[in-house]
Amino acid sequence: MATYKLLLLPGDGIGTEVMAEVKRLIAWMNQHGLGTFETEEGLVGGAAYDAEGVAISDATMARAQASDAVIFGAVGGPKWADVPYEARPEAGLLRLRKDLALYANLRPAICYPALADASSLKREVVDGLDIMIVRELTGGVYFGEPKTIVDLGNGQKRAIDTQVYDTYEIERIGRVAFELARKRRNKVASMEKRNVMKSGVLWNEVMTALHAREFKDVELEHVLADAGGMQLVRWPKQFDVIVTDNLFGDLLSDVASMLTGSLGMLPSASLGDVDPATGTRKSMYEPVHGSAPDIQGKGIANPIAMLASFAMALRYSFGLGKEADFIETAIANTLDKGLRTADIKSEGTTVVGTREMGQAVIDEV
């Protein structure tokens, strides 16, 4: 059995708390011969800034490059509100995404049956929901230049951000979406604002051409991003795979998170291209939630998004789809038994902390 090298970057706030549960899951899998994982740890975000003065050091980046997958917790918090922009905690996350060329961010939004009553939406709207948001992660307004604030004098400043997309960037994320759709319900909704943005015009054009050339068997629909946000709330089950740019993906996936009961449920995978020489790809796995400074240290954070992110690592980086299924089934079973962390509690369920929830999932695997 191959040995996989994981770099764990717990980060800040509840990042370290939910990462602790993944560590125990990994130890358990190693013990039971379900994989051979070697782990090392590194600093990112505010923790890295406090220790090293940057949001992620070159040395940590080198270890990320050398690892088979990065497992990421969460970064940020009010403690670092005043650090220089370039060293803010989020900069560590953005550098990882960019330097590892992790252009494909997969954000599944699944409503576990046991949680169909936990969200603000009506049960029939979310029950059985299973959509996959494919967000472009290394382009657009997140990285385009110029990105600057200039002083115009007289107390006036001008802020500039630039959204840039090239054909090849749209094509490769489109390909990820279409290929995923083929293994699911064969439908892709591409979301942009072509009525206002030139990047939307190009996005639409490239998706249309790619579809006609390589994916005619998949159903493709173009949806304006604002209407898409609305439809996600109105009737989300109309969607299978949604593909969209970096900024729209950020917003739309947060909206989608509310369909699943809690942000604490949502895992994500960030993938680069498969290297034809080795057959491997750079990858990072992280929960969609943040560092939640308000509940930090209380031991009540929901570890499910983090554990489910590790399951995605098994599936997308190591070809261990069956083992990934085990973990996901274990999560569903734990919820079916009525165990809940505080963020997803409801009448008649048993509220437990991070550690108990993590242990309960491991016990189910």
Ligand X SMILES: CC(C)[C@H](C(=O)O)[C@@H](O)C(=O)O
Return d(Cα 190, Cα 245) in angstroms, integer: 9
The verdict on whether residue 236 carries a ligand-binding annotation is: no
The nearer residue to ligand X, 97 or 315, going by C-beta atoms, is 97
Of 288, 327, 290, whose CA–CA distance to 307 is shortest? 327
Return d(Cα 142, Cα 131) in angstroms, integer: 24
Find which of ligand X, a second copy, none residue 125 binds, CB within 5 to 8 Å per kind: a second copy
Residue 294 interacting with a second copy (CB under 8 A): no
Burial tier of 26 (Cβ tally within 10 Å: 0-12, 13-18, 19+): buried
Q: Compute the least distance from the CB of residue 299 to a second copy, in Å.
A: 23
Residue 196 interacting with ligand X (CB under 6 A): yes
Residue 90 interacting with ligand X (CB under 6 A): yes
Q: Compute the least distance from the CB of residue 119 to a second copy, in Å.
A: 8
- 130 catalytic? Reply is no
- 99 catalytic? Reply is no
- 58 catalytic? Reply is no
Q: Which of 226, 275, 325, 363 is catalytic?
A: 226
Cβ pair 116, 133 in contact under 8 A:
no
- Of these, 198, 298, 322, 337, which contacts a second copy (CB under 8 A)? 198
Q: What is the DSSP string of 83-103?
A: S-GGGSHHHHHHHHHHHTT--
Secondary structure of residue 284 in the 3-state scheme: strand
Rounded to 10 degrees, the C-alpha dihedral 117/303/255/88 comes to: 160
Q: Which of 250, 282, 285, 343 is catalytic?
A: 250
Secondary structure of residue 354 in the 3-state scheme: helix
Please give the span between the terminal C-alpha atoms of the chain, in angstroms, as a whole number: 20
Q: Which of 49, 142, 165, 285 is catalytic?
A: 142
Find which of a second copy, ligand X, none residue 247 binds, CB within 5 to 8 Å per kind: a second copy
- 250 catalytic? Reply is yes
Structure tokens at 285: 């796995």
Q: What is the DSSP string of 128-145?
A: T-EEEEEEE-SSGGGT-S
Structure tokens at 118: 């936990």
Cα 187–Cα 71–Cα 139 angle in degrees, nearest 5: 55
Residue 197 interacting with a second copy (CB under 8 A): yes
The verdict on whether residue 85 carries a ligand-binding annotation is: yes
By beta carbon distance, the residue nearest ligand X is 90
Q: Compute the least distance from the CB of residue 122 to a second copy, in Å.
A: 6
The nearer residue to a second copy, 197 or 332, going by C-beta atoms, is 197
Cα 316–Cα 97–Cα 177 angle in degrees, nearest 5: 45
Residue 142 interacting with a second copy (CB under 8 A): yes
Binding site for a second copy (CB under 8 A): 76, 85, 88, 90, 94, 120-122, 125, 141-142, 144, 147-149, 152, 155-168, 193, 195-199, 201-203, 225-227, 229-230, 232-235, 247-248, 250-255, 257-259, 263
**Annotated binding residues for NAD(+):** 77-90, 290-302
Which residues are marked as active site? 142, 193, 226, 250, 254
